[in-house]
Amino acid sequence: MKKKKIAEAIILVVVSVVLLFGIPRYVMERVVVDGPSMEITLQDGDQILVEKISRYFGALNRFDVVVFYPDEETKKADGRYYVKRIIGLPGETVRITGNSIYIDDVLLEESFGSTEMGSAGIAADSVTLGEDEYFVLGDNRGISKDSRSASLGAVPLSRMEGRLVLRIFPFRKFGTVDK
């Protein structure tokens, strides 16, 4: 009887450790927005829940707000991440002219950008995305470092951490975020 209780206690501890470390790593994680690049949608300091399952099944969609690492070295070294909105999907061609975004030469109808685009960056000349690449923009386009930047460019799926599902803080803004 005593061995059975010890075995149950060990199993409980193992399951608890797996849940404690497994859920944030593979299922859902709380992320704090750092900086103003997603204003008006998200503010500096907002806390969001990011689900990590959809990236494994190719379920990331246009206008999803995603969390990703700017490069593999950053992911391994300090865990610094970006929060941006998906604009271009794998295989599409993205071009920016003035404040207009074209996907495969069709004007994209969207209303997330809160400021003037500023520079089109590398998207002034068309950017064709690879089979696992996404073109992302911050909603505060005038100041956002995003896929327009040659140093960041298109974001491969391997650097995606997950997709925003819920804003949890500040409490007065608790809930889903417009897509």
Q: Which residues are known catalytic residues?
A: 37, 84
The helix or strand, by DSSP H or E, that contains position 74, with its residue range, turns out to be helix 72-77
Distance set, CA 43 to CA 52, 127, 137, 146 (Å)? 22, 29, 15, 17
CB atoms within 10 A of CB 171: 8
CB atoms within 10 A of CB 60: 17
- The DSSP bridge pattern shows strands 100-103 and 93-97 to be antiparallel
Residue 124: what residue type? A
